[in-house]
């Protein structure tokens, strides 16, 4: 199992480093108002109320359990009122949390690209893509990791041979 860790780590580091280089290239790009407006529209769609509700739902379970354990006589209606208040607090603070995200999108995309992305995301295919992509990734990652575990030792051996062929010790 250990034999695949090095190649996988190297691939991850290379990917991360290339991402940092790209990020530094666009870091100083400032966007005009129209581009920022298009970016905000996309962000609002991608990270809209559904996302906030999902995030609140995931967090609420732990809070509800704690409230129930410390207040065994609490009724369902009061617990629901607290849940709705929690959701409202999440929504109120989401604007602050996401305030900088349109600028980030605007560094990487033009106004036209952001408009096209929004149009795609709101189309039937875009909606399906948002729905099924996490499922696809969930199925792909175990398959990819299994193949990496199988292929990595062979790649390591071939690399060792090449290094030795060039007269270096390994």
7 within a domain of the structure (yes/no): no
pLDDT digits (tens, 9 = 90+) for 118-133: 999 999 999 999 889 9
Residues 118 and 76 in one domain: yes
Weakest mean pLDDT among 7-16, 143-152, 161-170: 7-16
112 within a domain of the structure (yes/no): yes
Q: Which of 94, 106, 119 is nearest to 39 (CA)?
A: 106
Q: How many domains does the chain have?
A: 2
10 within a domain of the structure (yes/no): no
- pLDDT, mean of residues 43-48: 82
Residues 43 and 103 in one domain: yes
pLDDT at position 22 over 70: no
pLDDT digits (tens, 9 = 90+) for 52-95: 777 788 889 999 999 999 999 999 999 999 999 998 888 888 87
Residues 139 and 112 in one domain: no
Residues 41 and 100 in one domain: yes
| Separation of alpha carbons 82 and 78, rounded Å | 6
- pLDDT, mean of residues 43-52: 78
What integer pLDDT is reported at residue 13 of this predicted model? 56
State which residues form the domain around 161.
134-170
| Range 14-30 burial, b when 16+ CB lie within 10 A, else e | eeeeeeeeeeeeeeeee
What integer pLDDT is reported at residue 26 of this predicted model? 56
What integer pLDDT is reported at residue 1 of this predicted model? 43
Residues 37 and 74 in one domain: yes
Across 88-132, the runs of DSSP E, i.e. the strands, are none
Residues 76 and 143 in one domain: no
pLDDT digits (tens, 9 = 90+) for 132-161: 998 999 999 999 999 999 999 999 999 999
Q: Which of 35, 42, 11, 34 is nearest to 117 (CA)?
A: 42
- pTM value is 0.55
Token pair in block for residue 136: 């696809």
116 within a domain of the structure (yes/no): yes
56 within a domain of the structure (yes/no): yes
Residues 41 and 109 in one domain: yes
Crossing angle between the packed helical segments 5-26 and 124-165, to the nearest 10 degrees? 120
């Amino acid at each position: 199992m250990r034999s695949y860790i090095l190649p996988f780590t190297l691939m991850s580091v290379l990917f991360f480093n290339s991402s940092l280089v790209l990020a530094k290239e666009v870091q100083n790009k400032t966007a005009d108002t129209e581009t920022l407006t298009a970016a905000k529209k996309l962000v609002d769609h991608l990270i809209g109320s559904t996302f906030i509700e999902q995030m609140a739902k995931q967090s609420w379970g732990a809070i509800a359990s704690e409230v129930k354990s410390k207040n065994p006589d609490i009724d369902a209606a009061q617990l629901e009122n607290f849940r709705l208040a929690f959701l409202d607090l999440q929504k109120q603070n989401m604007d602050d949390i996401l305030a900088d995200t349109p600028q980030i999108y605007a560094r990487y995309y033009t106004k036209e690209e952001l408009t096209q992305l929004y149009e795609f995301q709101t189309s039937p295919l875009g909606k399906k893509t948002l729905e099924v992509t996490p499922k696809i990734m969930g199925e792909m990652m175990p398959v990819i990791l299994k193949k990496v575990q199988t292929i990595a030792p062979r790649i390591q051996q071939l690399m060792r041979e090449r290094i030795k062929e060039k007269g270096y010790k390994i």
